[in-house]
Amino acid sequence: MLARTAPIVLAMFLTVDSAHTEEPKSAQDTLKAFLNAFADADLERMGQFYAPKVTVKKGATILDKKYGALGGDDGRKKDQTVKRDTLLKAYETTIQELGGKERWIKRGRKLKTIEVRYITDDSENADKIFPAVGARNGDVLALVSPKHDALFFHLRKIDGNWRIIAEAWD
């Protein structure tokens, strides 16, 4: 009897809900999961990794009127702090303006394998090293440099989970 039920039990064990994902434990794991979502143009998954408000640093493409238009009349001239939902809507526009989801995904593939340079880790005094970007002790700053673009991310632990609080890319 056990021999006949074992495959059924094993099959039940292997069919775990893949939509359920555990919260990443480290800033590095959080950024890796975010970059996968970013590369896939998966706005819903991207949203899971942002803080409720995010600062988009001056010069970022998404601030430009042609793309996400987060910069308003100032365009790329200064930082903008926006709500997560506003940022995700701007990404939707940007993805379309840059050739659509298929092209974005094609260009983003390299983000899944590129090495991330961590400028600080959570054990360093980022507040003393990078006060100009609003870093606090324990924050993590990272630079991702694919061939044509540079992406900067500022992560902070909020309510026990790592979240992106600022970003810039061009």
pLDDT value for 21: 57
Q: Can you give the pLDDT of all 170 residues of the chain as single tens digits?
A: 444 433 333 232 323 333 445 778 899 999 999 999 999 999 999 999 999 999 999 988 889 888 888 888 888 899 999 999 999 999 999 999 989 999 999 988 877 777 788 887 776 677 777 777 788 888 888 988 766 678 899 999 999 999 999 998 87
User: How big is the chain by its Cα radius of gyration, in Å?
Assistant: 19
Q: 24-169, what's its fold?
A: Nuclear Transport Factor 2; Chain: A, (3.10.450)
Whole-model pTM: value is 0.81
pLDDT value for 163: 97
**Distance separating alpha carbons of residues 71 and 82, to the nearest angstrom:** 10
Q: Locate the domains of the chain by residue range.
A: 24-169
The tokens for 155 are 């992560």
**Distance separating alpha carbons of residues 170 and 156, to the nearest angstrom:** 22
Neighbours of 15 (CB within 10 A): 8
65-to-54, 71, 95, 148 alpha-carbon distances in Å: 18, 7, 14, 21
pLDDT value for 73: 84
